[in-house]
């Protein structure tokens, strides 16, 4: 197993497949984009499958989430999913995507073995979407969501970040739409993972703000800690159920004590946390011919050093020097 000095056991693996993205969201990267990783620096498909296999067979990893950047930009994505689905034991597999291109790939991903998707969508307004993402692709995301639902990649979860002065008034509309479409909506507090380091704590829409806005239109009944388990989202039944809404309050209500995640970057580094400032290089071990046992040892050692928490609400917090697109959400 993967255990740290605080007794937390990692059962959830997040794998970034690429640092590239076809949107330029204002809270993630600058308009001109970033200096992308060179292709030789990226893990190959074989290397990804090998590392996931080590995680599943040696550590008891139960869930694998493919992320990016934008994972749909990875040419070998369907094949990777198919090969991971063939592992024994088979992990649950999900994908976090911006939804662009999902209309074309949802059926193939389902056939390959993907279980479900999380799609990022911050607004129902095409003009606001263009302002937030610097791209005119709102309808493509809506089409991708519909395709995921039709393919059976359920529950389809929608992740939304509210930004002051742009979409901070949309929480009730987003929830009404999600209920109508049978999607599970999750609001995420904006986190300091932008390449420009422009995040400011005092300008963030908090979980409290979001819940206050939702309660102007809906009755919310908390599910409670037992139902939440180690999940990052606190969830509420909407008007008595069965639909739910979640809030991931990474800044104001950190959940580090229950964290069960380990992360692989697109270039083969182990990260113990999105906000970690240290990484452990597994790619070098892979390419030097190290056996699975040695790679597992390095991975265990990295996770043993996992810190107690990110301290995002601490004024002394130091933002990581890698943007979210390079780390994986």
The CATH number assigned to the domain holding 138 equals 3.20.20.70
Q: According to the annotation, is 263 in a ligand binding site?
A: yes
- pLDDT for 32 equals 67
Whole-model pTM: value is: 0.89
- pLDDT for 191 equals 67
- pLDDT for 86 equals 98
Residue 328 CB partners (closer than 8 Å, separation 6+): 14, 15, 16, 67, 68, 69, 263, 264, 265, 266
Tell me which residue has tokens 């083969």: 268
Q: According to the annotation, is 125 in a ligand binding site?
A: no
Q: According to the annotation, is 28 in a ligand binding site?
A: yes
Q: According to the annotation, is 252 in a ligand binding site?
A: no
SS3 184: strand
CA distances from 311 to 26, 68, 79, 207, 319 (A): 23, 24, 38, 17, 10
- pLDDT for 315 equals 45
Q: According to the annotation, is 256 in a ligand binding site?
A: yes
Q: According to the annotation, is 297 in a ligand binding site?
A: no
Beta partners for residue 263, in sequence order: 14, 271
Q: Which two tokens stand for residue 61?
A: 């990893």
Q: According to the annotation, is 273 in a ligand binding site?
A: yes
Q: How far apart are CA 282 and CA 272, in angstroms?
A: 13
- pLDDT for 230 equals 64
Instruction: Find, among 106, 90, 230, 210, the residue nearest to 156 by Cα.
Output: 106
Q: According to the annotation, is 262 in a ligand binding site?
A: yes
Q: According to the annotation, is 25 in a ligand binding site?
A: yes
- pLDDT for 36 equals 83
Q: According to the annotation, is 183 in a ligand binding site?
A: no
Helices (H) and strands (E) in the chain, counts: 11, 14
Q: How far apart are CA 225 and CA 207, in angstroms?
A: 16
Q: Which two tokens stand for residue 38?
A: 């060179």
Q: According to the annotation, is 96 in a ligand binding site?
A: yes
Q: Do residues 134 and 28 touch, judged by C-beta distance below 8 A? A: no
Q: Do residues 214 and 245 touch, judged by C-beta distance below 8 A? A: yes
Q: According to the annotation, is 212 in a ligand binding site?
A: no
Tell me which residue has tokens 């704590």: 201
Domain carrying residue 73: 2-326
Q: Across the beta sheet with 234-238, what order do the strands follow?
A: 220-222, 234-238, 244-248, 184-188, 157-160, 116-120, 92-97, 63-67, 12-16, 261-264, 269-271, 280-281
- pLDDT for 193 equals 54
pLDDT tens-digit profile, the chain (329 residues): 999 999 999 999 999 999 998 888 877 776 666 778 899 999 999 999 999 999 999 999 999 999 999 999 999 999 999 999 999 999 999 999 999 999 999 999 999 999 999 999 999 999 999 999 999 999 999 999 999 999 999 999 999 999 999 999 999 999 999 999 999 999 998 866 544 444 455 568 999 999 999 999 999 999 976 666 667 789 999 999 999 999 998 888 877 888 999 999 999 999 998 878 889 999 999 999 999 999 999 999 999 999 987 654 444 444 455 544 555 55
Q: According to the annotation, is 272 in a ligand binding site?
A: no
- Domains in the chain, number: 1
Q: According to the annotation, is 191 in a ligand binding site?
A: yes
């Amino acid at each position: 197993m993967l255990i740290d000095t605080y007794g937390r056991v990692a059962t959830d693996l997040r794998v970034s497949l690429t640092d590239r993205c076809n949107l330029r969201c204002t809270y993630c990267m600058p308009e001109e984009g970033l200096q992308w990783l060179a292709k030789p620096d990226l893990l190959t498909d074989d290397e990804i499958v090998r590392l996931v296999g080590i995680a599943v067979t040696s550590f008891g990893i139960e869930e694998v989430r493919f992320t990016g950047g934008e994972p749909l930009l990875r040419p070998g994505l369907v094949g990777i999913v198919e090969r991971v689905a063939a592992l024994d034991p088979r992990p649950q597999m999900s994908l976090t995507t911006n939804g662009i291109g999902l209309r074309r790939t949802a059926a193939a991903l389902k056939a390959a073995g993907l279980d479900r998707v999380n799609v990022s969508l911050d607004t129902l307004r095409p003009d606001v979407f263009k302002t937030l993402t610097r791209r005119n692709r709102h309808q493509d995301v809506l089409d991708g969501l519909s395709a995921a639902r039709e393919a059976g990649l359920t529950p389809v979860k929608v992740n939304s970040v509210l930004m002051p002065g742009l979409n901070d008034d949309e929480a009730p509309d987003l929830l009404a739409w999600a209920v109508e479409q049978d999607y599970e909506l999750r609001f995420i507090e904006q986190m300091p993972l932008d390449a420009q380091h422009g995040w400011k704590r005092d300008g963030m829409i908090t979980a409290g703000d979001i819940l206050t806005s939702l309660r102007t239109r809906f009755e919310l009944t908390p599910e409670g800690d037992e139902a939440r388990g180690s999940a990052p989202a606190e969830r509420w039944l909407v008007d008595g159920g069965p639909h739910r809404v979640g809030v991931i309050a990474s800044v104001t209500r950190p959940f580090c004590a229950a964290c069960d995640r380990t992360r692989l970057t697109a270039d083969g580094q182990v990260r113990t946390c999105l906000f970690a400032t240290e990484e452990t290089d597994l790619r070098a071990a892979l390419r030097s011919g190290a056996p699975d046992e040695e790679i597992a040892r390095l991975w265990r050692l990295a996770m043993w050093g996992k810190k107690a928490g990110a301290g995002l609400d601490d004024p002394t917090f130091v933002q990581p020097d890698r943007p979210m697109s390079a780390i994986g959400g």
